[in-house]
Structure 1
Amino acid sequence: MELNTIKPADGSKHAKRRVGRGIGSGLGKTAGRGHKGQKSRAGGYHKVGFEGGQMPMHRRLPKRGFKSALLKYNAEITLSELQALDLAEVDVLALKQVGLVAQIVKNVKVIKSGELSKKVVLKGVGATAGAKAAIEAAGGQVA
């Protein structure tokens, strides 16, 4: 192989479309833009969602719903989930390792749902008033 024999693969190179270069080219006169109208003119276009002055869809439809960013960083666990754990001391890191809460979670709160019969010590984990009473009744504590 010599440098003067190298050529690109078949079909990889093709001539650029030259619009507005006469009738014989197939792209003369209107140069593929059709006749008249905003899209046929230089610089004539509109922003995304524009509907010709009609109230656009994204403004006609009602706005609904809201997802609080707090939901991403806060999590709740139940007394029954605590009961199922084989841990005497429970903190946020332990809950992440077990897979009860997501890795992104920063705050965890125990809610009173289900039963707790074993002693559990909570460290750095919040609890509702009912959950705290149930944990202390089982011999545990909320630190």
Structure 2
Amino acid sequence: MRISRRIATGAVSLLSFAAIAAGAAPASASQTVAPAPTTLGAKGVCMGWKNAGSIPGKWSTLNDGCAHFGFKGMKMVYAWKVFKGSSICVQAKGFNAKGKKTWYKAGCGKSGKITVPWGNVAANKEMKVKGAALLRWN
């Protein structure tokens, strides 16, 4: 049995159309893989301890890059621990009763913890640190 060029072209076109309709990308298309969405509550970027560094004599701002959704009366907890270097001074971002960003002084030391008012706000956690150290924070 001989298959003509016209029939073969039609069969390939039909198979290609079926594959595209089923959701497959054409072979000539570049395929990019989108990163999996990060969800709060899932173990990953938005959960657990983050590594950071600070320099002496200047405030460095640390940002966790994750949106934290609050509610009326909510408080946010920050914790840190220096694993190499001197003690650091820390300020933590929170929100006042009117929803305005406010920096709360957490003190100085090699480790610590502070609870700040957050309220009905969606924002990233941020800390300002000063001192020569490598630290972990959450």
Q: Which bracket does the TM-score occupy, shorter chain normalised?
A: under 0.3
Q: Which has the higher strand share?
A: 2
Larger gyration radius, structure 1 or structure 2: 1
Structure 2-normalised TM-score? 0.27
Greater relative contact order (Cα 8 A, min sep 6): structure 1 or 2? 2
